[in-house]
A and B are shown apart, each in its own frame.
Chain A
Amino acid sequence: QVQLVQSGAEVKKPGASVKVSCKASGYTFTGYYIHWVRQAPGQGLEWMGRINPNSGGTNYAQKFQGRVTMTRDASISTAYMDVSSLISGDTAVYYCARDRSGSYSFDSWGQGTLVTVSS
């Protein structure tokens, strides 16, 4: 079965960076875009960007341009998202999600990674 397993919770200080991983299994990793979505406490879902696991090509939401980097290692079916210059407002649960057909319909989600930014 399709499964996305993310790395564990992180606590970071303001100004630091965090790298979250998302390991895929149960399907051909290079065949489906991976998107990253975050959810601040008590808030809604926010789209951050996507990566093509085959080519490595990325699209980022304008809000995160220059501060977010999405990469992948196809040899181990894993996508990564790096967020730099963290502020308290980046405290959120970060999800990776598989795009079922390039149509921005996300049919499988990781369990989420809580990133807490606190001094």
Chain B
Amino acid sequence: SSELTQGPTVSVALGQTVRITCQGDSLRTYYASWYQQKPGQAPVLVIYGQNNRPSGIPDRFSGSSSGNTASLTITGAQAEDEADYYCNSRDNRGNGVFGGGTKVTVL
């Protein structure tokens, strides 16, 4: 299967830590990437590969992977981190796939 499963919503208190997960068989073979999307804007890559951040992404964002599960952790969440977060990867046939997205609310 090339599906990726994410929980729909998660909330975190300002300054606390939140972890978002993404599950799928393809993650046993391929790394997940993570994107942040705010309303009315295009997605922004925040994590790729084993645990890499593009230039300009704060170091409070980190990624990890184990088995069929990839995780994105925000350590010390800020108000500006409130957004939708999507994971994506690929399958063995070269098809891309996205998770359904997780809405992060910062309280």
Contacts and interface: CB of A to CB of B under 8 A. Distances in A.
Given A44-B101, A111-B42, A106 B94 contact: no
A82 interface: no
Interface string A101-114: 00111110111100
Contacts of B49: 103, 105
A35 B97 CA distance: 12
A72 interface: no
Contact of A44 (B45, B48, B54, B86): B86
Interface in A55-114: 59, 61-62, 95, 97, 100, 103-107, 109-112
Residue among A100, A106, A107 with the highest chain B CB neighbour number at 10 A:
A106
Interface stretch (A13-21, A23-31, A45-53): A45-53
B interface SS class:
strand
Interface in B70-107: 86, 88-90, 94-101
22 contacts: A45-B35, A45-B37, A45-B43, A45-B88, A46-B98, A47-B97, A59-B94, A59-B95, A61-B96, A97-B43, A103-B49, A104-B30, A104-B33, A104-B96, A105-B48, A106-B35, A106-B88, A107-B54, A109-B42, A109-B43, A110-B42, A111-B42
Closest 4 pairs between A and B when the two form their complex, measured CB to CB: A47-B96, A105-B48, A109-B42, A105-B33
Interface of A: 35, 37, 44-47, 50, 59, 61-62, 95, 97, 100, 103-107, 109-112
Interface of B: 30-31, 33, 35, 37, 42-45, 48-49, 54, 86, 88-90, 94-101
